[in-house]
Amino acid sequence: MRIGVLVKQVPATENVRIDEETGTMVREGVEAELNPLDLHAVEEAVRLKDRLGEGTEITVISMGPPQAQKAVRAAIAMGCDRGLLLSDRRFAGSDTLATARTLAAGVKKAGGFDILLSGERATDGETGQVGPAVGQVLGMSVLTFVSAVESAGKGSLVVRRAVEGGHERVEAPLPAMLSVVKEINTPRLCTLGGKIRAKKTEIPVLGADDLPLPAEHLGLPGSPTKVVKVSYPQITRSGKKVSAADSVDGAVEEILSVLRGRGIV
């Protein structure tokens, strides 16, 4: 069985910045990491491989700048077999639709998969759209909010989905795309052997010319979603300063007066 995992390199949460002119995220010179929610997709892929046994192979695919190879290698260090990076300046500025089209083309280029996994969402965009959209473009069964994979093989799989008020059990035919929630597992720590193997693994890089997509489907030209304005919340505090410089007793009484007025004391 062939398993694929979609991962994304995202800015560290505290470093997310938006270019106010283009409305796109600033990634150059920003500390980045493997999307934390994608770790659960990688972990589940490795667990599936352990259950399914010999003949199961995991390929991790990412789209991003050249430095996104770091995210691919992190997934390989956890137990994935090989990786593929889609990287081209013409991919820059892609919204969820353009990203999904590009990743779907990369999946086809990799030969397709029986099971494709992704994290529930990326911590930078928070849309949760890309994984399911890739499955839709590829004509796969799409299962979101997956909290457990109960069985897989023989042309179908059974999963448990987290829904409002509980869970539901679903059987779907393969190939299938699974978007998993963090409750599905606890990601393992990378071993030294895994890190060494990841460092030695060659990561092929495909550009726009390697994918069968028209230019109007790539990057900003292929993105129907446009950011027209960027604004930041203004944090203001209104209050009264009480000074004890003249009289400590007077300051205490003033504070007590305010608390009594609000019914606190």
pLDDT tens for 90-130 read 999 899 999 999 999 999 999 999 999 999 998 887 888 99
**Contact predicate 222/97, CB 8 Å:** yes
| Token pair of 141 as six digits | 């069964």
> Which ranges of 65-181 would DSSP assign to H, the alpha helix?
69-78, 96-109, 130-138
Rounded-to-10 torsion of CA 161, 162, 163, 168? 40
Architecture category of domain 2-222 in CATH = 3-Layer(aba) Sandwich (3.40)
Quick: pLDDT tens for 154-208.
Answer: 899 999 999 988 999 999 999 999 999 999 999 999 999 999 999 999 999 999 9
The partner residues of 205 in beta bridges, in order of sequence, read: 85
Quick: pLDDT tens for 43-77.
Answer: 999 999 999 988 999 999 999 999 999 999 999 99
Any idea where the domains of the chain sit in the sequence?
A: 2-222
Radius of gyration of the chain (CA): 24
Band (pLDDT 50/70/90 cuts) for residue 240 is confident
**Contact predicate 218/183, CB 8 Å:** no
